[in-house]
Structure 1
Amino acid sequence: MPLLAEDVVPPGTLATMPQPALPADGLTLRPWRAEDRPAVVAAYADPAIQQWHCRTMNDDEAAAWLSAWPSRWRAESGAGWAVTDGEEVVGQVSLRTLDLPAGLAEVSYWVLPSRRGLRIAPRALAALTAWSFGSLGLHRIELRHSVSNPNSCRVATLAGYAPEGVQRGGCMHPDGWHDMHLHARLDTDP
Protein backbone atom coordinates (compact mmCIF):
# COMPACT_ATOMS: atom_id res chain seq x y z
CA MET A 1 0.00 0.00 0.00
CA PRO A 2 1.62 3.30 -1.02
CA LEU A 3 2.26 5.98 1.57
CA LEU A 4 0.88 9.44 0.92
CA ALA A 5 3.81 11.26 2.55
CA GLU A 6 7.29 11.36 1.07
CA ASP A 7 10.25 9.95 2.99
CA VAL A 8 11.88 12.64 5.11
CA VAL A 9 15.28 11.08 4.47
CA PRO A 10 15.34 8.60 1.59
CA PRO A 11 16.59 5.13 2.53
CA GLY A 12 20.16 4.71 1.31
CA THR A 13 21.18 8.25 2.28
CA LEU A 14 23.27 7.28 5.31
CA ALA A 15 24.71 4.10 3.81
CA THR A 16 26.14 5.95 0.82
CA MET A 17 28.09 8.53 2.85
CA PRO A 18 31.20 7.94 4.91
CA GLN A 19 30.75 8.40 8.65
CA PRO A 20 32.20 11.82 9.42
CA ALA A 21 34.29 13.08 12.30
CA LEU A 22 32.47 16.04 13.86
CA PRO A 23 33.91 19.00 15.78
CA ALA A 24 32.17 19.50 19.13
CA ASP A 25 33.25 22.70 20.89
CA GLY A 26 36.79 21.59 21.74
CA LEU A 27 36.06 17.87 21.39
CA THR A 28 35.84 15.56 18.39
CA LEU A 29 33.24 12.93 17.60
CA ARG A 30 34.83 10.22 15.49
CA PRO A 31 33.86 6.74 14.37
CA TRP A 32 34.75 4.00 16.84
CA ARG A 33 38.00 2.07 16.36
CA ALA A 34 38.99 -1.40 17.55
CA GLU A 35 41.71 0.12 19.73
CA ASP A 36 39.01 1.97 21.74
CA ARG A 37 38.09 -1.30 23.46
CA PRO A 38 39.79 -0.48 26.83
CA ALA A 39 37.79 2.76 27.12
CA VAL A 40 34.53 0.92 26.38
CA VAL A 41 35.32 -1.81 28.93
CA ALA A 42 36.17 0.87 31.51
CA ALA A 43 32.96 2.77 30.77
CA TYR A 44 30.72 -0.26 31.20
CA ALA A 45 32.50 -1.15 34.46
CA ASP A 46 31.26 2.15 35.91
CA PRO A 47 28.23 1.63 38.21
CA ALA A 48 26.44 4.76 36.90
CA ILE A 49 26.79 3.70 33.26
CA GLN A 50 25.64 0.19 34.20
CA GLN A 51 22.61 1.65 36.00
CA TRP A 52 21.45 3.97 33.22
CA HIS A 53 22.51 1.89 30.19
CA CYS A 54 21.47 -1.41 31.80
CA ARG A 55 24.50 -3.38 30.71
CA THR A 56 28.08 -4.31 31.38
CA MET A 57 30.71 -5.50 28.88
CA ASN A 58 33.73 -7.71 29.07
CA ASP A 59 36.61 -7.42 26.60
CA ASP A 60 35.05 -9.71 23.96
CA GLU A 61 31.65 -8.03 24.23
CA ALA A 62 33.24 -4.60 23.85
CA ALA A 63 35.08 -5.80 20.74
CA ALA A 64 31.79 -7.05 19.27
CA TRP A 65 30.02 -3.79 20.20
CA LEU A 66 32.73 -1.76 18.47
CA SER A 67 32.75 -3.93 15.36
CA ALA A 68 28.94 -3.68 15.03
CA TRP A 69 28.85 0.10 14.49
CA PRO A 70 30.03 0.11 10.84
CA SER A 71 27.40 -2.46 9.86
CA ARG A 72 24.71 -0.51 11.72
CA TRP A 73 25.75 2.57 9.72
CA ARG A 74 25.47 0.65 6.43
CA ALA A 75 22.13 -0.86 7.51
CA GLU A 76 20.96 2.62 8.56
CA SER A 77 19.83 1.28 11.93
CA GLY A 78 22.16 3.36 14.12
CA ALA A 79 25.31 5.44 14.23
CA GLY A 80 27.82 5.73 17.06
CA TRP A 81 30.76 8.03 17.73
CA ALA A 82 33.58 8.04 20.25
CA VAL A 83 33.78 11.43 21.94
CA THR A 84 37.44 12.35 22.12
CA ASP A 85 39.53 15.05 23.74
CA GLY A 86 42.68 14.96 21.65
CA GLU A 87 43.32 11.25 21.22
CA GLU A 88 41.65 10.24 24.50
CA VAL A 89 38.18 8.66 24.42
CA VAL A 90 36.12 10.48 27.06
CA GLY A 91 32.61 9.37 26.13
CA GLN A 92 30.19 8.23 23.46
CA VAL A 93 27.20 9.64 21.66
CA SER A 94 24.99 7.78 19.24
CA LEU A 95 21.88 7.73 17.18
CA ARG A 96 20.86 4.51 18.92
CA THR A 97 17.81 4.10 16.72
CA LEU A 98 17.07 5.55 13.30
CA ASP A 99 13.97 5.73 11.14
CA LEU A 100 15.10 7.64 8.06
CA PRO A 101 11.76 7.64 6.19
CA ALA A 102 10.12 9.20 9.28
CA GLY A 103 13.11 11.53 9.84
CA LEU A 104 13.36 10.28 13.44
CA ALA A 105 16.18 9.13 15.73
CA GLU A 106 16.77 8.49 19.41
CA VAL A 107 20.08 9.47 21.01
CA SER A 108 22.16 8.03 23.82
CA TYR A 109 25.38 9.15 25.47
CA TRP A 110 27.73 8.53 28.36
CA VAL A 111 30.88 10.14 29.73
CA LEU A 112 33.70 8.38 31.55
CA PRO A 113 33.65 9.09 35.32
CA SER A 114 36.99 10.95 35.30
CA ARG A 115 35.63 13.49 32.78
CA ARG A 116 32.17 14.19 34.18
CA GLY A 117 31.24 17.75 35.09
CA LEU A 118 33.00 19.30 32.06
CA ARG A 119 29.87 19.57 29.88
CA ILE A 120 31.21 16.90 27.53
CA ALA A 121 27.82 15.24 26.99
CA PRO A 122 25.91 18.43 26.07
CA ARG A 123 28.69 19.55 23.71
CA ALA A 124 28.77 16.15 22.01
CA LEU A 125 24.99 15.98 21.84
CA ALA A 126 24.75 19.49 20.36
CA ALA A 127 27.29 18.61 17.65
CA LEU A 128 25.54 15.35 16.77
CA THR A 129 22.17 17.12 16.71
CA ALA A 130 23.44 19.86 14.38
CA TRP A 131 24.90 17.28 11.97
CA SER A 132 21.76 15.11 12.13
CA PHE A 133 19.54 18.03 11.14
CA GLY A 134 21.90 19.89 8.81
CA SER A 135 23.68 17.09 6.94
CA LEU A 136 21.54 13.99 7.38
CA GLY A 137 18.20 15.80 7.18
CA LEU A 138 16.37 14.36 10.18
CA HIS A 139 13.26 16.14 11.44
CA ARG A 140 13.03 14.94 15.08
CA ILE A 141 15.49 13.53 17.61
CA GLU A 142 14.26 12.05 20.87
CA LEU A 143 16.08 11.54 24.15
CA ARG A 144 14.76 9.38 27.00
CA HIS A 145 16.20 9.11 30.48
CA SER A 146 15.05 7.79 33.84
CA VAL A 147 13.29 10.35 36.01
CA SER A 148 15.81 9.24 38.66
CA ASN A 149 18.70 10.54 36.54
CA PRO A 150 18.76 14.34 36.97
CA ASN A 151 22.21 14.60 35.36
CA SER A 152 20.85 13.29 32.07
CA CYS A 153 17.95 15.72 32.33
CA ARG A 154 20.49 18.55 32.68
CA VAL A 155 22.37 17.31 29.57
CA ALA A 156 19.13 17.26 27.57
CA THR A 157 18.22 20.79 28.67
CA LEU A 158 21.70 22.20 27.98
CA ALA A 159 21.60 20.68 24.47
CA GLY A 160 18.23 22.31 23.76
CA TYR A 161 16.02 19.22 24.05
CA ALA A 162 12.62 20.34 25.31
CA PRO A 163 10.84 18.16 27.87
CA GLU A 164 7.69 16.58 26.46
CA GLY A 165 6.40 14.37 29.24
CA VAL A 166 6.83 11.22 31.28
CA GLN A 167 6.51 7.68 29.97
CA ARG A 168 5.21 5.67 32.91
CA GLY A 169 7.13 2.42 33.46
CA GLY A 170 8.99 3.13 30.22
CA CYS A 171 12.19 1.15 30.78
CA MET A 172 13.40 -1.78 32.88
CA HIS A 173 16.58 -0.95 34.81
CA PRO A 174 18.58 -3.27 37.08
CA ASP A 175 16.51 -2.08 40.06
CA GLY A 176 13.11 -2.34 38.35
CA TRP A 177 10.81 -0.32 36.11
CA HIS A 178 11.60 3.37 35.75
CA ASP A 179 9.40 6.17 34.53
CA MET A 180 11.22 7.93 31.68
CA HIS A 181 11.42 11.61 30.81
CA LEU A 182 10.97 12.23 27.10
CA HIS A 183 12.80 15.19 25.55
CA ALA A 184 13.00 16.07 21.86
CA ARG A 185 14.41 18.52 19.35
CA LEU A 186 12.91 19.35 15.98
CA ASP A 187 14.87 20.61 13.01
CA THR A 188 12.78 23.79 13.29
CA ASP A 189 13.76 24.48 16.92
CA PRO A 190 16.18 27.35 17.53
Structure 2
Amino acid sequence: MPKPPENWLRAWRMDDAPMLLAAAQEPSLQQQFVQPISSLDEAEKWIQDRGADSAAGTAHAWAICGENDEALGLVTVSHIEPRHSTGWVAYWLLPQARGKGLAVRSVRAISRWAFDELGLFRLELGHRVDNTASCRVARAAGYAAEGIERSRLRYGDKRYDVERHARLATDPEPGEVTGRNGFPGRS
Protein backbone atom coordinates (compact mmCIF):
# COMPACT_ATOMS: atom_id res chain seq x y z
CA MET A 1 0.00 0.00 0.00
CA PRO A 2 1.44 3.40 -0.92
CA LYS A 3 2.01 6.01 1.75
CA PRO A 4 -1.17 8.04 2.32
CA PRO A 5 -1.09 11.62 1.09
CA GLU A 6 -1.91 13.19 4.48
CA ASN A 7 -1.50 12.40 8.18
CA TRP A 8 -5.23 11.91 8.83
CA LEU A 9 -5.39 9.15 6.20
CA ARG A 10 -4.00 5.66 6.74
CA ALA A 11 -4.26 2.13 5.44
CA TRP A 12 -7.19 0.07 6.68
CA ARG A 13 -6.25 -2.30 9.52
CA MET A 14 -7.91 -5.45 10.80
CA ASP A 15 -8.78 -3.66 14.05
CA ASP A 16 -11.02 -1.37 11.94
CA ALA A 17 -13.35 -4.32 11.21
CA PRO A 18 -15.85 -3.52 14.05
CA MET A 19 -16.16 0.10 12.84
CA LEU A 20 -16.60 -1.09 9.26
CA LEU A 21 -19.31 -3.53 10.31
CA ALA A 22 -21.11 -0.74 12.21
CA ALA A 23 -20.78 1.59 9.19
CA ALA A 24 -22.29 -1.05 6.91
CA GLN A 25 -25.34 -1.20 9.19
CA GLU A 26 -25.75 2.62 9.30
CA PRO A 27 -28.85 3.43 7.19
CA SER A 28 -27.20 6.41 5.47
CA LEU A 29 -24.21 4.25 4.43
CA GLN A 30 -25.67 0.85 3.58
CA GLN A 31 -25.77 1.59 -0.14
CA GLN A 32 -22.08 2.55 -0.16
CA PHE A 33 -21.01 -1.08 0.03
CA VAL A 34 -21.13 -3.09 -3.21
CA GLN A 35 -21.10 -6.31 -1.22
CA PRO A 36 -23.07 -6.37 2.04
CA ILE A 37 -21.02 -6.57 5.23
CA SER A 38 -22.99 -8.36 7.93
CA SER A 39 -20.25 -10.00 10.02
CA LEU A 40 -16.75 -9.30 11.32
CA ASP A 41 -15.43 -11.94 8.92
CA GLU A 42 -16.96 -10.05 5.97
CA ALA A 43 -15.52 -6.77 7.28
CA GLU A 44 -12.06 -8.33 7.56
CA LYS A 45 -12.40 -9.73 4.02
CA TRP A 46 -13.33 -6.23 2.79
CA ILE A 47 -10.16 -4.86 4.42
CA GLN A 48 -8.04 -7.63 2.86
CA ASP A 49 -9.59 -6.90 -0.53
CA ARG A 50 -8.62 -3.22 -0.27
CA GLY A 51 -5.00 -4.26 0.25
CA ALA A 52 -5.18 -6.60 -2.74
CA ASP A 53 -6.67 -3.83 -4.90
CA SER A 54 -3.81 -1.52 -3.95
CA ALA A 55 -1.19 -4.19 -4.65
CA ALA A 56 -2.76 -4.73 -8.09
CA GLY A 57 -2.82 -0.98 -8.75
CA THR A 58 -6.55 -0.97 -9.51
CA ALA A 59 -7.65 1.04 -6.46
CA HIS A 60 -6.23 2.75 -3.38
CA ALA A 61 -8.44 3.17 -0.31
CA TRP A 62 -7.59 4.88 2.95
CA ALA A 63 -9.33 5.21 6.27
CA ILE A 64 -10.18 8.80 7.16
CA CYS A 65 -9.15 9.11 10.81
CA GLY A 66 -9.93 11.27 13.80
CA GLU A 67 -7.49 12.73 16.30
CA ASN A 68 -6.99 9.38 18.05
CA ASP A 69 -6.33 7.52 14.77
CA GLU A 70 -9.80 5.95 14.87
CA ALA A 71 -11.31 5.20 11.47
CA LEU A 72 -14.25 7.52 10.73
CA GLY A 73 -14.73 6.95 7.01
CA LEU A 74 -13.23 6.11 3.64
CA VAL A 75 -11.72 7.90 0.69
CA THR A 76 -10.67 5.95 -2.38
CA VAL A 77 -9.60 6.26 -5.96
CA SER A 78 -10.71 3.18 -7.88
CA HIS A 79 -11.47 2.03 -11.41
CA ILE A 80 -8.01 3.26 -12.32
CA GLU A 81 -7.65 3.18 -16.09
CA PRO A 82 -3.98 3.69 -17.07
CA ARG A 83 -4.69 3.92 -20.81
CA HIS A 84 -6.89 6.98 -20.35
CA SER A 85 -5.27 8.19 -17.09
CA THR A 86 -8.63 8.22 -15.29
CA GLY A 87 -10.00 7.10 -11.95
CA TRP A 88 -13.14 7.18 -9.81
CA VAL A 89 -13.18 8.89 -6.40
CA ALA A 90 -15.55 7.86 -3.63
CA TYR A 91 -15.89 8.81 0.03
CA TRP A 92 -18.09 8.37 3.06
CA LEU A 93 -18.03 9.32 6.73
CA LEU A 94 -19.79 8.07 9.82
CA PRO A 95 -22.56 10.49 10.86
CA GLN A 96 -20.62 11.79 13.87
CA ALA A 97 -17.67 12.79 11.65
CA ARG A 98 -19.67 14.82 9.13
CA GLY A 99 -19.71 18.61 8.90
CA LYS A 100 -16.09 19.04 10.00
CA GLY A 101 -14.37 19.39 6.64
CA LEU A 102 -12.83 15.89 6.75
CA ALA A 103 -14.48 14.71 3.53
CA VAL A 104 -13.46 17.80 1.56
CA ARG A 105 -9.86 17.69 2.79
CA SER A 106 -9.65 13.95 2.13
CA VAL A 107 -11.03 14.20 -1.41
CA ARG A 108 -8.66 17.07 -2.16
CA ALA A 109 -5.71 15.10 -0.78
CA ILE A 110 -6.43 11.88 -2.65
CA SER A 111 -7.09 13.85 -5.83
CA ARG A 112 -3.75 15.67 -5.69
CA TRP A 113 -2.06 12.35 -4.82
CA ALA A 114 -3.71 10.58 -7.78
CA PHE A 115 -2.57 13.33 -10.14
CA ASP A 116 0.98 13.57 -8.77
CA GLU A 117 1.78 9.98 -7.79
CA LEU A 118 -0.36 7.91 -10.15
CA GLY A 119 -0.11 10.26 -13.10
CA LEU A 120 -3.88 10.35 -13.60
CA PHE A 121 -5.32 13.22 -15.60
CA ARG A 122 -9.08 12.96 -14.98
CA LEU A 123 -10.90 11.95 -11.80
CA GLU A 124 -14.65 11.45 -11.67
CA LEU A 125 -17.18 11.05 -8.90
CA GLY A 126 -20.93 10.88 -8.65
CA HIS A 127 -23.66 11.22 -6.05
CA ARG A 128 -27.41 10.82 -5.90
CA VAL A 129 -28.99 14.15 -6.77
CA ASP A 130 -30.80 14.13 -3.41
CA ASN A 131 -27.46 13.94 -1.54
CA THR A 132 -26.75 17.66 -1.31
CA ALA A 133 -23.99 17.19 1.29
CA SER A 134 -22.01 15.02 -1.12
CA CYS A 135 -22.52 17.61 -3.84
CA ARG A 136 -21.05 20.28 -1.54
CA VAL A 137 -18.03 18.04 -0.87
CA ALA A 138 -17.48 17.48 -4.60
CA ARG A 139 -17.68 21.18 -5.45
CA ALA A 140 -15.49 22.26 -2.51
CA ALA A 141 -12.90 19.67 -3.57
CA GLY A 142 -12.69 21.27 -7.02
CA TYR A 143 -14.91 18.87 -8.96
CA ALA A 144 -17.00 20.54 -11.65
CA ALA A 145 -20.54 19.27 -12.22
CA GLU A 146 -20.84 17.70 -15.67
CA GLY A 147 -24.39 16.47 -15.84
CA ILE A 148 -27.12 14.16 -14.62
CA GLU A 149 -27.22 10.42 -15.29
CA ARG A 150 -30.91 9.60 -15.19
CA SER A 151 -32.01 6.58 -13.13
CA ARG A 152 -28.36 5.46 -12.81
CA LEU A 153 -28.70 3.74 -9.42
CA ARG A 154 -31.26 1.30 -8.10
CA TYR A 155 -31.66 0.63 -4.38
CA GLY A 156 -34.45 -1.84 -3.80
CA ASP A 157 -37.36 -0.85 -6.02
CA LYS A 158 -36.37 2.81 -6.30
CA ARG A 159 -34.15 4.38 -8.97
CA TYR A 160 -32.02 7.49 -8.42
CA ASP A 161 -30.52 10.08 -10.72
CA VAL A 162 -26.80 10.70 -10.25
CA GLU A 163 -24.95 13.99 -10.69
CA ARG A 164 -21.53 13.40 -12.26
CA HIS A 165 -18.54 15.60 -11.37
CA ALA A 166 -14.95 15.60 -12.63
CA ARG A 167 -11.64 17.24 -11.87
CA LEU A 168 -8.68 17.45 -14.24
CA ALA A 169 -5.02 17.58 -13.29
CA THR A 170 -4.89 20.99 -15.01
CA ASP A 171 -7.78 22.46 -12.98
CA PRO A 172 -6.83 25.10 -10.40
CA GLU A 173 -6.42 23.97 -6.81
CA PRO A 174 -9.49 24.67 -4.68
CA GLY A 175 -9.19 26.97 -1.62
CA GLU A 176 -8.16 25.85 1.86
CA VAL A 177 -10.72 24.23 4.17
CA THR A 178 -10.28 23.99 7.93
CA GLY A 179 -12.22 22.07 10.52
CA ARG A 180 -14.33 23.64 13.22
CA ASN A 181 -11.27 23.89 15.44
CA GLY A 182 -9.54 25.99 12.79
CA PHE A 183 -6.67 23.84 11.54
CA PRO A 184 -6.37 21.44 8.63
CA GLY A 185 -5.78 17.76 9.11
CA ARG A 186 -7.65 16.97 12.29
CA SER A 187 -11.10 18.18 13.25
TM-score of the two chains, using structure 2 as the length reference: 0.85
* Aligned counterpart for 1:161 among listed residues 114, 118, 143: 143
Q: How does 1:48-63 map to 2 (within 5 A)?
A: 48-53=28-33, 56-58=36-38, 59-63=40-44
**Contact 1:54 1:173 survives alignment (8 Å):** no
Query: How has the CA–CA distance of structure 1 residues 64 and 52 changed in structure 2, closer, same or farther, with 3 Å as cutoff?
Result: closer
Q: Name the amino acid aligned to 2:37.
A: M
Question: CA-to-partner distance for each residue in 1:69-123, whole Å, 9 max, x for gaps?
Answer: 1211122221110011231111110113211221100111100111111111111
1:141 aligns with 2:127: no
Deviation at 1:66, TM superposition (A): 0.2
Instruction: Note the C-alpha offset of 1:173.
Output: 2.1
Q: Partners of 1:71 and 1:100 in 2: how far apart?
A: 18
Q: 1:39 aligns with which of 3, 19, 31?
A: 19
Larger RCO, structure (CA 8 Å, separation 6 or more): 1
Rounded Cα–Cα distance in structure 2 between residues aligned with 1:145 and 1:108? 9
The residue number in structure 2 matching 1:189 is: 171
Distance of aligned partners of 1:149 and 1:42 in 2 relative to their CA distance in 1, 3 Å threshold: same
Q: How many residues align?
A: 170
Match of 2:45 in 1: 64
The separation in 2 between residues aligned to 1:51 and 1:129, in whole angstroms, is 23
Of the candidates 113, 117, 122, which is equivalent to residue 131 of structure 1?
Answer: 113
What's the C-alpha RMSD, in Å, of the aligned pairs?
Answer: 1.5
* CA distance 1:39–1:50, change in 2 (3 Å): same
Structure 1 pair 151/175, CA: closer, same or farther in 2 (3 Å)? farther
Alignment correspondent of 2:3: 20
Inter-CA distance 21–52: structure 2 relative to 1 (3 Å threshold): closer
Which aligned runs of 4 or more in structure 1 are off by greater than 3 angstroms?
51-56
